Each structure stands twice: as structure tokens, then as C-alpha cells.
Chains A and B, each alone.
Chain A
Amino acid sequence: MSHFFLRALDRQASLAILALLVLAAVVPALNLLTPPGSALHLSTFTVSLFGKYLTYALLAVALNLVWGYCGILSLGHGAFFALGGYAMGMYLMRQIGSRGVYGNPLLPDFMVFLNWKTLPWFWHGFDHFWFAAIMVLLVPGLLAFVFGWFAFRSRVTGVYLSIITQALTYALLLSFFRNDMGFGGNNGLTDFKDILGFDIQSDATRSVLFAASAVALALGVLVTSAIIRSKYGKILIAVRDAESRTRFLGYRPERVKLFAFVVSACMAGVAGALYVPQVGIINPGEFAPANSIEIVIWTAVGGRATLIGPIVGALLVNAGKSFFTGWLPELWLFVLGGLFVAVTLFLPRGIIGTLAHGWSGLRQRRASSSAETGTDAEPRLPPDMPAGSKYEPAAAE
């Protein structure tokens, strides 16, 4: 067990984790310990905004585990994020107590409004934080387990799997919109008052939530790195590259995939649970298929199958989104679409992958065009080889 995590701490993972832990300490300090007029002061709004970005980054790290390292293109990861968010939202709703508009000590406002007399069975237990915390992991994990069990066992792969994950999140979107599901329907869950007894709006709580998001992201990096550097991680990549070959070695790709899928869903659930108290609302819109596609774009932009690429991608794209939606809101979707096309064409490895492997996208394009014109000289590296490794013809022995 100790080996499992020690192995995870290579240079890149250690640096990323260290940076996140420093961030978890410094950002709250800049918010709480500096006077509002000071040049070093970070507003609570900024702290919460970046806290939200960090939860997105954790979501991208979760997707990267299945897409980057195992080739499962999930277009429904937003569902696991939203379910984690709903579990946290239910806890926060129960904390409101009699401070709601209708003053009912037991029932949340929307239930009183719908004329419900008793708390539905699945709302019991959510008045305890520990129970909600377990559900944050359990509900997305269980859904991923059941879904993955059937999908992977039936050998559904590639674009078909992507389509049914998209259908999964869409089905959840439609059901959570319904009032009689008991999750607040269209409006979702909002108007939260406090978390673990602390005012959810206060600067200190916001800072702690930011720090918790940074620590959770650091843990996500640690877990991913530990998984990837284990023998299981090698099997995961082998399944991605040649699934049927692993079967003839005696491995069961469906189980290999299922484990990664469940771990990834739990990570996404934690991200959702940290997201909700920082934005103050969770509604069915989080299940929207477009959200899940955005996660794929963050991961692709940053670089899939790299440890920190998804984090970089999530931060950059969301900072861009905040900037554009404030400046030219009608342009944002065009920018996002253009970004995806540009990354696919010119940076197939994403930002981090390109930094690590050199400007492979442009080099390959130049190589293929010079091959067409016949001006190419020596044999070139196959696209999957890192720069620095040498191509040698078969060694004569």
C-alpha cells in the first residue's frame, strides 16, 4: 500500500501536488490576512471563482483517467459531477432548517410549495455531513459500476459507448427536471445558509472551500499518478491500445475498464460536491450534454494522457470563458468550437503533451507535405514515439 503511493510521487506529480498545497495556503491568506485596499488582496469573489475552476480541474483529471489512459471517451462525466453536487446540495438544504421562506423545520421550501407532507425516504440521512460525504462517493460510483458493468461486459466500445454515456446524462437531465423526482425540479437546490455550522457566505468559509478544492485536486493527481505508475496502469494503457490482445494474455479488459470508470466517477462526484457550496446552487442544467462535452475539450486542450494537462486545460478554458462571457458573450461558443478544432489539428497532444514532446503537430504536417513532394530525406519517427528516441533499422545480428 505504501509502495502504491510512494511510487506515485515522481518529479512531475510531486511538483503539481506541492504547487496545489502552496496555493491552498497562500490564496486564503491573501484573502483573509490582507486589507481590502492592498495590492496583494484577493477578493472573495475571485477566491470562489478560482475555487470553482479547481473543481472543474478535478473533473477534467477524472475524465482523463478513463479517456486519456484507457481510451473510454465518456461524454457523460457531467452526470457524475452533478450527482456528487446533488448529494452535497441535499445536505446543505437540510442545514437550512426552519430558516426557509416557509419556516418548515423538516421540509425544504420546494417540498412545502409542492404540498408534500413528509420527507421522501431518499432525503433521510442527509442532515448528517458524514452521510452526505459517503453519498458523494457512493452514488456516482454505484451508477458508474452498474452502467460500466453492462456496457463493458457487452463489449460496447468507441463511438457507441460515447453515445450511450451522452444518453445517460441526458436521461438524468430529463428526470431531474421533473418536480415529482423530489430534487427541486427545474430550480434545483439553492438558498444555502451554512455548511458544518459555518456561514456559507463568509470570507473564511469561502477560503476554506477553496483550500479544500485545491487539496482534493492534489489528491486526484496523487491517485491518478499512483494508478498510472502501477502495473494496473500499464494494463490500462495496454487495453487502450490493443484491447483484444490483453484478452489473449489472460486479462479481462471489462474489469480493467470498470475499475477506472468507477474511480473516475467518484473523483467527479467529489468535484461536484465542492463545486456546489462555492457557486451556491445545483440544478438539472448541470446534467446538460453540452457540459460533458466541455469537459472533453478542457482535457483535449490541456493534453490527455498527461498528468497535469487536464488541470491546465480546465483552468485556461474556463478563465477564457469567464473573460469572453463578460466581454463578448455571443462570441464564446464560436471561440470554444474554434479552440477544439485548432487543438485537434495543430496540437493533437494538447498543450502539455506538446511541451513535453516538441511541436509534433506542425512537424508531422511538414513531414507529410515534404513526403508528398518527395523532398523528404531520412525515415521519420512514427507519430507515437517521443522525441529523443532514435529510429534504427532492424539490427543485423
Chain B
Amino acid sequence: MAFHGHLWLGVLSTVALLVIAITGILLNHKRGLGLMPEVEHTPSGAFTESVSLEQLARAALEAVPQAARKDWQPGQPVDVGLIDRMDARPRNGFVKVRLRDAASTEVTVDLHTGRVLHVGERGDVFFEKLHSGEIFGGQPYVLLSDVAAIALVITLITGYWLWLAPKMSRAPSGGGDGA
């Protein structure tokens, strides 16, 4: 029973665990691998003098390639549907505007001047979704990752059992060696 459970679960979860393990390693080293843009910047003004969110979003949308902003054109009202999130970093004096395109394009914009500091792709967002299983269609697919993780735990336990059980059965049962 333990052997077959170990074998079948191990083989069944191989592909999923390989993906989870490799993406996990890549995510651990996302900065070193250049998967997320790193921008060095010091604030160019006081936080109270920051430009509005709408202006920051507009500057970001104007800076990205047409493929990332779809049908939106400069001069039109900001389409919030194109924006995934705006991550403000007051200590660094910039805001990271992440778009909802395939490459998760991220634009770093100066909080005080609205000047675009950097445009890049967030590869780690893709790897995070692949790691969790979300990439296949949202939150329900996270269960695929859960199933693989549970299979790994059971495989580890059955592996230990297969190693130790024969030793335990061969071990001497009595404690006394006679007086």
C-alpha cells in the first residue's frame, strides 16, 4: 500500500512539482535574474507635493508600447481597466504602475514630477501565477498546486515509512537479554 501510494503519487505529481520547484527557485532569485525592474531613485520633492494618481497613470500609459495599452490613445481619459495596480514608494519618490497586459509591463514614475523613470516587464508576476497554478484560469486552479503539494507531503511520509518499516520489523522485539 505504502509502496504503491509512493509510486503512483510520485509519478502523477512529477510535472506539477517540477514546475513548482523551478518557478520557486526563479522567484527566489528574481532580482538577480532581472525578472523585476530595479530603479534607484531619491525623492525629488516633498510627499505632500506629489502629483495626482490620474496624472501618474496617464504618464505611465503614454510611455508603454501600443500593445500594452491596447486601444487607449494619449489625450483620452485614463482607462483604469488597463491598470493592475499602482504601488507607491514615498521613501524612493516613485510609483510603480503595473499594467494588465500579457507581459505585466511596469512603469516607474516620479511621484513629484510625473517623469517616467523606467519601463520594463515583470517576469516574476508570470512565474508567481505559474507557481500557484493561477495562470490556467484564476483562483480555482490554485487547487492543482495544492494537490501537488499534498502529494509531495504524502510521498515524503511514505518514503520514510518504506525506509524505516523493514528496519523496525527486523529490530529485536525484547529489551531484556537475560539476567
Q: Do A and B belong to a common assembly?
A: no
Residues of B near any A CB (own CB < 8 A): none
Residues of A near any B CB (own CB < 8 A): none
